[in-house]
Structure 1
Amino acid sequence: MATEEQARRLVDVLATELTSRSGTVLRHDRYYRGQHPLKFASDEFRKYCADRYKGFSDNWVQPVADSPVERLTVTGIQASGEMKADAELWGVWQRNGLDADSQLGFLGAGNAGRSFVLVWGDPSDESTPCVTFEDASSSIVQYEPGSRRRRRAAMKMWQDGFSEYATLYLADEVWKFERPLSSGEKKSPQMAEADAVMDSWTPRETDNEPNPQRNPMGVVPMVELPNRPLLASEPVSDVSGVIAMQDAINLLWAMLFTGADYASLAQRIVTGAEIPKIPVLDANGQKVGEKPIDLKKFVTDRILWLENPDAKVDSWPAAQLTAYTEVIEVCVGHIAAQTRTPQHYLIGRMANLSGDALIAAETGLVKRVEEKTLWFGQALREVFQLICLARGEDDKAKALAGGTVLWRDPQSRNLAQLTDSLLKLKQIGFPFEWLALRFGLTPTEVTTLMDMRAREAELDPVSVIMGGAGQPSEEPAPPGPDPADGGVP
């Protein structure tokens, strides 16, 4: 049990850490949305062109982040020693809308380096706890010293109106705090310190709930989904390594557009001639002087008079803009190689490639997805354990400790090749239920399919005897020659 002062101090520390992380999280989010400032440009170029290209971006961060998420689909959870996926837990998953929200959580983890899942009981429906994916800018988990899995505390923080709220989750209790938002005015250090004292965290008033309240689950109910975790440092975002090359691509496009504006067409130049002038007349029509003619008129009228016989017309050739596009293509190729994103996802050009060639081209992406299923699956297994604890099913929670999170096959397969391989596996004895899962059906769909096959068998028992429900009968092979008859059948 923590005292109020201990809980307040922990919230202060976690809030400071969360604030320090939020800058990077928001930066990655802006780049994913295509909000890129113009970088790597000279001061002169930025001075004259930054506003011109403000809001433009050739956004490659988004497909890099999206490509693995579109292949990350949870299909169920299977406890250790069980032959089938758990239908009840899958029902909780679906009733919380996690088929869609999990995609948001996986994308958030890829962009920010981590995301979180919070599980808490619902008093109005004890069989369906509330499960929500949380963003890295609003949630944080503290681990036991020396451990990357044993959670010590967790916190969710958010703003609403003129107040900031925080909920601190411990293994045995939950604290709720609030504080007024800072006005942002610049004050002296003494007055700023005085404001900090007055605006510190205070227990939040809640209706019909004690504060703190008991945590009936007995564990910290928030789990972190780390993206590409490392042994000695923070998880790595999928887009952090793309940002520098993204800035270079945007600058190259800005230079290309500028070159297209000024030098994409051949430029004519006149030498050996003075600027044409027109006479200035007084009220009586007498010439009193001269003034240079407006050169814009020549551009508009496409007419030029040259009276000086020594005048010459020359031209500058049009700029070759392909030099920029070739470098941009190289930059995109580097992004594809560094992030293991298939080139045809980014370049958009495909030749007549065979199915095997396409599978080989996507091998890096498939391996990248499999790595994510490993780390995300470990975290989601703990999420399903928390669901069981929130439902009061302690024994099932223990069984899930060695369970398996089921995922859809991340590899794109040709339907004809897939069915052919499954038929061959059937011939060597693989069970139909396993083959249906390999075909891509979810465990729920497989259960429905098996029920349908059972009903077909009841309606047509003869086909079962001859070759299986819904399957063509297998005729026995004709007898071979009998050696006793001299080899004659």
Structure 2
Amino acid sequence: MRGARLRGTHGLFDEQEGQGTQGGDLEIADVLERHVDALSNRLSLAKPAHDENSAYYESEHRLKAIGVGTPPEMRMLVSAIGWPRVYVDALEERLDVEGFRLAGESYTDERLWSWWQANNLDVESSLAHLEALIHGVSYVTISAPGKLDDPDMPVIRVESPTSMVADIDPRTRKVRRALRLYVDELDPTQDAATLYLPNETIYFVRRSGAARWRIESRVRHQLGVVPVIPIINRERLSDRVGRSEITPEVRSMTDAAARIMMNLQATAELMAVPQRLLFGVAQDEFAANPENPGAVLEAYYARILAFENEAGRAEQFQAAELRNFVEALGELAKHVASYTGLPPQYLSFQSDNPASAEAIRSSESRLVKKSERKARMFGSAWEEVMRVAMLIMDQAIPKNAYRMETIWRDPSTPTYSAKADAVGKLYAAGMGVIPLEQARIDLGYSAEQRRQMRDWDNQNPTAQLNALLSGPRLPAREPAAEAA
């Protein structure tokens, strides 16, 4: 290791024997440590933004200045307004991957789906999507199976941007290097880091608070690519880093709603019940204890006050009207709906008459279209994950994998009867515009359910008779799976 040097655009990535070409001779360990320090600094700088994003999502954000017209002792009556979580969860709940299809194939690829299932990505992918929506990006790492893993399954893990950061090349838009920070499970007093480079993965450790990182081990995989894929949300041509789905306008509406809700609570505590005003009554007439005239009787709600002074009279102030607060909250909810595309029923404002099924579908159109856009963006990342997994397992990527397609569940919410009626008319007992397999896909059956249905179809006496008469026979398994 001491005899090797680094060279390249920044003296960073390419490892080979000989002299470096930039800045004199640099030891590999020193350059690698600079990688870790540079990326960890970026992670530290992003921590305040990550904390704020999480606070808004978890409804834990507290305003710096709130309640100008509210007594200081009542300014702790801040309510948690969960509109950011409602919006983010509504998007994430509609993003479900159902398989991958290679170019030229009619069926989803069973081998790729087995990798997905083996890594529990049914659950983990939802967490990755959620982190990307909250923070603007999440990451997926791919590695070869270890000694205790299934040798036919790559190891695919999702990572949060709060513990991982990647450097993306603005020219190729590929990851040049990535870093993951964590605490060593075997020794909690040690900090640990994993540095991902195009041709190797390096593991570092250091004592907590120590200034220098120490290389613990290195894995030279020679892939030529960094096995880290970012899932980026709200990417722009001028901003390839990604942004949170909890936009500034949603945050401002959430803050305003928190202020109004706090004022509503304060008003309800102080003025929601009519206040009494007594004239011509001496204070000692309200003494709870005759022996202690200073102890004034406390007047609670619905307590009857009686006094003997014939000149005394009682008046009361009108109770405060709370409707203005309620109307203000409703107006803010409408603004949030216009910014996010959430249907009215998601934010608890709608007409008294229940909406019809068609009205519900119409109100969800923007949310469905936005979910389809998210699926397209996130799908390209999952396709790249599978291509890198192929490279790790097969040392090559087949040509048809470069036109891979991610299959997503329909993000809309039609009723089952309406969907069955529409698909039935399109299929029309085999004489319609779509074949049987497409009808089953449109109805939402999974790949495994469709495979079992094909087995049952082939056991049908009519299908067996067609086979004897040289009629078409449905494949029991998908061709891509048999070839694999």
TM-score after normalising by structure 1 = 0.82
Residue pairs, 1:80-91, within 5 angstroms:
80-91=103-114
1:240 matched residue in structure 2: 247
Matched, 1:19 2:38: no
Residue pairs, 1:284-433, within 5 angstroms:
292-297=293-298, 299=300, 302-305=304-307, 307=309, 309=311, 311-347=312-348, 349=350, 351-396=353-398, 398-426=399-427, 427-433=431-437
Are 1:68 and 1:369, in contact at CA under 8 Å, matched by a contact in 2?
yes
1:202 matched residue in structure 2: 214
SS at match of 2:171: coil
Are 1:31 and 1:243, in contact at CA under 8 Å, matched by a contact in 2?
yes
Q: What per-residue deviation string (whole Å, max 9, x for no partner) do you get for residues 79-111 of structure 1?
A: 112221110110010011001111111111111
Deviates more, 1:354-363 or 1:236-245: 236-245
Are 1:60 and 1:246, in contact at CA under 8 Å, matched by a contact in 2?
yes
CA distance in 2, matches of 1:169, 1:297: 70
Amino acid of the residue matched to residue 443 of structure 2? F
1:244 to partner: Cα distance = 2.2
1:260 matched residue in structure 2: 268
Q: What per-residue deviation string (whole Å, max 9, x for no partner) do you get for residues 38-95 of structure 1?
A: 45414674731234x36x4132221111001111110111111222111011001001
Amino acid of the residue matched to residue 64 of structure 1? Y
Q: What per-residue deviation string (whole Å, max 9, x for no partner) do you get for residues 332-390 of structure 1?
A: 22112111111111216573322221111000110110111111011110001111112
Q: What per-residue deviation string (whole Å, max 9, x for no partner) do you get for residues 267-325 of structure 1?
A: 1102344433699xxxxxxxxxx98553335559633325262x432210011111111
CA distance in 2, matches of 1:293, 1:307: 19
Which consecutive unaligned segments of at least 5 residues does structure 2 have?
Answer: 1-13, 16-27, 474-484
CA distance in 2, matches of 1:239, 1:217: 36
Matched, 1:162 2:189: yes
Which of residues 218, 226, 229 in structure 1 aligns to 2:224? 218
Shift in alpha-carbon separation, 1:245–1:40, aligned structure 2, 3 A:
farther
CA distance in 1, matches of 2:298, 2:371: 62
1:142 matched residue in structure 2: 167
Which consecutive unaligned segments of at least 5 residues does structure 1 have?
Answer: 183-197, 205-210, 280-289, 470-489
1:249 to partner: Cα distance = 1.4
Shift in alpha-carbon separation, 1:134–1:462, aligned structure 2, 3 A:
closer
SS at match of 1:155: strand
Amino acid of the residue matched to residue 170 of structure 1? L
CA distance in 1, matches of 2:202, 2:71: 50
Which of residues 98, 104, 108 in structure 2 aligns to 1:75? 98
Are 1:39 and 1:251, in contact at CA under 8 Å, matched by a contact in 2?
no
CA distance in 2, matches of 1:170, 1:462: 57
Shift in alpha-carbon separation, 1:464–1:101, aligned structure 2, 3 A:
farther
Are 1:40 and 1:247, in contact at CA under 8 Å, matched by a contact in 2?
no
1:468 to partner: Cα distance = 11
CA distance in 2, matches of 1:17, 1:278: 67
Q: What per-residue deviation string (whole Å, max 9, x for no partner) do you get for residues 363-418 of structure 1?
A: 0110110111111011110001111112125143x421111111011111122222
Matched, 1:33 2:33: no
Which of residues 275, 282, 303 in structure 1 aligns to 2:283? 275
CA distance in 1, matches of 2:142, 2:70: 52
CA distance in 2, matches of 1:327, 1:262: 20
1:96 matched residue in structure 2: 119
Which of residues 151, 155, 176 in structure 2 aligns to 1:126? 151
Which of residues 441, 444, 466 in structure 2 aligns to 1:437? 441
SS at match of 1:401: helix
Larger Rg: 1
Shift in alpha-carbon separation, 1:45–1:178, aligned structure 2, 3 A:
farther
Are 2:66 and 2:75, in contact at CA under 8 Å, matched by a contact in 1?
no
Which of residues 101, 104, 108 in structure 1 aligns to 2:131? 108
Fraction of identical pairs, as percent: 25
Q: What per-residue deviation string (whole Å, max 9, x for no partner) do you get for residues 218-264 of structure 1?
A: 31001000111112124121123322222221221121111111111
SS at match of 1:444: helix
1:456 to partner: Cα distance = 1.4
CA distance in 2, matches of 1:417, 1:44: 53
1:459 to partner: Cα distance = 7.4
Shift in alpha-carbon separation, 1:464–1:392, aligned structure 2, 3 A:
closer
1:462 to partner: Cα distance = 8.2
Shift in alpha-carbon separation, 1:425–1:304, aligned structure 2, 3 A:
same
Are 1:39 and 1:248, in contact at CA under 8 Å, matched by a contact in 2?
no
CA distance in 1, matches of 2:178, 2:286: 82
- What is the count of residue pairs matched by the alignment? 434
1:282 matched residue in structure 2: none
SS at match of 2:131: helix
Are 1:175 and 1:213, in contact at CA under 8 Å, matched by a contact in 2?
yes
CA distance in 2, matches of 1:389, 1:320: 67
Shift in alpha-carbon separation, 1:298–1:385, aligned structure 2, 3 A:
closer
TM-score after normalising by structure 2 = 0.82
CA distance in 2, matches of 1:372, 1:85: 21
Q: What per-residue deviation string (whole Å, max 9, x for no partner) do you get for residues 7-47 of structure 1?
A: 11111111111111122122222222221314541467473
Shift in alpha-carbon separation, 1:141–1:267, aligned structure 2, 3 A:
same
Q: What per-residue deviation string (whole Å, max 9, x for no partner) do you get for residues 431-453 of structure 1?
A: 11111111112233222222211
